[in-house]
Chain A
Amino acid sequence: MSQEWPLWEIFIRGQHGLNHRHVGSLHAPDAEMAINNARDVYTRRNEGVSIWAVKSEDVVASAPSKRGPLFEPSNSKVYRHPTFFKIPEEVGHM
């Protein structure tokens, strides 16, 4: 039997980091080994305190060609950037 080990995407939350960040990927036969290898490869110099491993095949990515329509900055939709409300001074900080 010859079977390639699946690819895993590795996310790490740094010591003072708020969220997990993608740091790379690796091959491992199962989730436990993926975590063990990620610890050795990606956190040997105090890089983090928490690891997520996700099978690459479970990740769905947006297509680069859709970059325009997906990420158009919607500057025309001013109501999404509501920085223009006037609050009376008497009301105080809000």
Chain B
Amino acid sequence: MYAQVINTGSDRVRPIDEMSAEEQAFMERIERGEKIEPKEWMPEGYRKTLIRQIGQHAHSEVVGQLPEGNWITRAPTLERKAILLAKVQDEAGHGLYLYCAAETLGVSRDELIELLNSGKMKYSSIFNYPTLNWADIGAVGWLVDGAAIMNQVPLQRTSYGPYSRAMIRICKEESFHQRQGYDIMMKMCEGSPEQKAMAQDALNRFWYPALMMFGPSDKDSVHSAQSMAWKIKINTNDELRQKFVDQTVPQAKYLGLTVPDENLVWNEERGAHDFSEPDWNEFFEVIAGNGPCNKERLGARVKAWDDGAWFREGLAVHAQKKQTQQRKQA
């Protein structure tokens, strides 16, 4: 998930008899599974929650270009480099779709970017971890994009039309990304002992951060119930995390790698894996801005925005000048 802790503005779900007639009608539409479209009436809390969630999701796509972009110039083969370039370009496109979806809710992209740059809006905790070796690029594709897909597939059915349509488009490309990541891991694991050790090291460092992508445990997630009542969220954080673990463990086994969790065991009774929770203190520290790369990541975004100001203005002025000339000729 690229949006982990979303404030819905209330810590409990209001019963139907506390709602206005408008809100009751809205909830009935949600219950029927109708999609909500931009110009329609919606509760203020619903609108704000979506702006937070879609905005945070968009920011994550953009900031997520940095850890992978870190290895573009150092990719080990030309083929891997071209694939990585295409992938990072996809992420830019995903950010674009999502900013547009957020804008249908009455906020502008520049406003959202300002909120990101000033630290008032978050992006996914995962992108505050460094990419230290080439296998990390494999681990990011396999685990990080894998976790993102686990979350985004159900979001294709989310109640807000523009968000749901953006997810449909994005999911298709995310699955390319996950496969390219796993392909890197396979290559590393079939390679020399040094390469395999790099792959194991990458898994060791990215396993828990990937589990954190699904957000805090259900018992600590005060806003989930409201998001689920509005059908913005379809599954709980813990449900998706469990699904991710069950899907990923056999993939790690196939690679001959060990998941860094002593408590990981198949539970026959539940038909699922038991596993250790990530360190939630670490998670909240990262979210609060104190992770390993928070300053570097946000710093890079702010620098790009500030250094690019003259260029954006130049294009705007040029466009205006051209328009005036065309008017004169007409």
Contacts and interface: CB of A to CB of B under 8 A. Distances in A.
The answer to whether A and B interact is yes
Contacts of B295: none
Given A61-B39, A64-B37, A2 B313 contact: yes
Contacts of A7: 100, 103
A68 to B, nearest CB: 14
Contacts of A17: none
B150 interface: no
A3 B317 CA distance: 9
Nearest to B86: A44
A49 interface: no
Interface size class of A (residues with CB under 8 A): 10 to 19
Contacts, number: 48
Contact of B109 (A4, A30, A33, A61): A4
Interface string A18-39: 0000001111011001000000
Contacts of B39: 61, 63-64
B96 interface: yes
Given A4-B109, A4-B110, A41-B93, A26 B100 contact: yes
B330 interface: no
Interface string B37-52: 1011000000000000
B100 A24 contact: yes
A92 B192 CA distance: 77
A12 to B, nearest CB: 12
Contacts of A91: none
Interface size class of B (residues with CB under 8 A): 20 to 34
Contacts of A40: 89, 93
A78 interface: no
B243 interface: no
Contacts of A41: 93, 96-97
A1 B37 CA distance: 34
Contacts of A29: 312, 315-316, 318-319
A53 to B, nearest CB: 13
Nearest to A25: B100
Contacts of A61: 39
B322 interface: yes
Nearest to B166: A24
Given A27-B109, A61-B39, A63-B39, A5 B96 contact: no
A5 B103 contact: no
B161 to A, nearest CB: 11
Given A30-B322, A64-B39, A64-B40, A3 B316 contact: yes
Interface string B65-100: 000000000000000000000000100010011001
Interface in B154-173: 166, 169
List 8 tightest A-B contacts by C-beta distance, closest first: A30-B319, A29-B315, A29-B319, A41-B93, A25-B100, A64-B40, A4-B110, A3-B316
Interface of A: 1-5, 7, 24-27, 29-30, 33, 40-41, 44, 61, 63-64
14 contacts: A1-B316, A3-B313, A4-B108, A5-B315, A5-B316, A25-B103, A30-B315, A30-B318, A30-B319, A40-B89, A61-B39, A63-B39, A64-B39, A64-B40
Given A24-B97, A25-B103, A40-B93, 9 more contacts: A1-B313, A5-B315, A24-B169, A29-B315, A30-B319, A40-B89, A41-B97, A61-B39, A64-B39
